[in-house]
Amino acid sequence: MNKPRSFRQLVSSPQSGGVERLIQRSGQLLRLDTLVRDLLGSGFAEHCRVANIKGNSLLLHVDSTVWATRIRYQLPELLRNLQQTEQLWQITEIDLRVQPRDVSEAVKKPMRKAAMSRDAALCVKECASSIEDEQLRGALQRLASRGGIKN
């Protein structure tokens, strides 16, 4: 069993070549990503990126289910075009996975508060006044306050 090595050992070890392999692999994936984006066209390219290539399978990350569906219709043509390139003739399968690019963008969108009319709020307040359960009555009164009705 191999003993785990520190980062410094990995970088400085001449026989490991780990960093060199990592740099080569990332360069290969970047070139492949550029090729795939060019083949997909500008409408699709901004929603798709190459995640990995392993054996005869290419893995693409798509930023939403909507774009995954749209790109899925383009896969047969993309596969034919990839197989016509000298480096990627062995690709026989393309997998799509939904992977949002920046989750923080979804969080940044302001939440919209539900609006309640004054009449609906009055109805909820009247309903609350007839309920014996204190927790439920309190919840309904808080709900009625969204329509501008005070307790």
| CA pair distance 54, 50, nearest whole angstrom | 12
pLDDT at 24 over 90: no
Q: What is the pLDDT of residues 61-86, one digit of tens each?
A: 999 999 999 999 989 998 999 899 88
Amino acid at 38: D
Q: With the C-alpha atoms ordered 88, 65, 48, 80, is the resulting torsion angle positive or negative?
A: positive
Amino acid at 96: L
Beta strands in 55-102 (DSSP E): 57-62, 93-98
Listed range (30-44, 102-116, 130-144) with the worst mean pLDDT: 102-116
pTM assigned to the model: 0.57
Q: With the C-alpha atoms ordered 105, 28, 18, 20, is the resulting torsion angle positive or negative?
A: negative
Q: What is the pLDDT of residues 46-57, one digit of tens each?
A: 899 999 999 899
Strand order in the sheet with 48-54: 48-54, 57-62, 93-98
Q: What is the pLDDT of residues 95-123, one digit of tens each?
A: 999 988 765 555 566 667 777 888 888 88
